[in-house]
Amino acid sequence: FKHRIFNNSQTDIVPNYDVLDIMLGFYPSSAENQHFEIIGKNLFDQDGINARFTDVFGVGATGDELIAPRQIMLRFVTQF
């Protein structure tokens, strides 16, 4: 992990960023085995790099793994 992720101070410089994730749940007392959840990921749609690494095979290519864009999800859960 250390060898490939954020390890080369010349090419693996990654700017910092903040993301906001929220999960809200509704748990109705009339339906004890069911609930709803609204999930928001990266609500401000921030651009960010999750991982950056430089190819160790001599070509010197650098690859970025980007964080996901804003996502809004609704989850319905039923427990049996």
| 5-51: pLDDT as tens digits | 556 677 667 788 999 999 999 999 999 899 999 999 999 999 998 88
Name which residue leads in pLDDT, 56 or 41.
41
| Residue with tokens 């009339």, as numbered in its chain | 30
pLDDT band at 1 (very low <50, low <70, confident <90, very high): very low
Does residue 26 lie within any of the structural domains? yes
Residue 52 lies in a domain: yes
Any domain includes 69: yes
How many distinct structural domains can be found in the chain? 1
Is residue 2, in this structure, part of any structural domain at all?
no
Residue 17 lies in a domain: no
Supply 59's token pair: 């070509």
Q: Is residue 15 part of a domain?
A: no
Angstrom distances, CA of residue 71 to CA of 4, 21, 25, 39? 28, 9, 16, 8
Whether 66 is covered by a domain: the verdict is yes
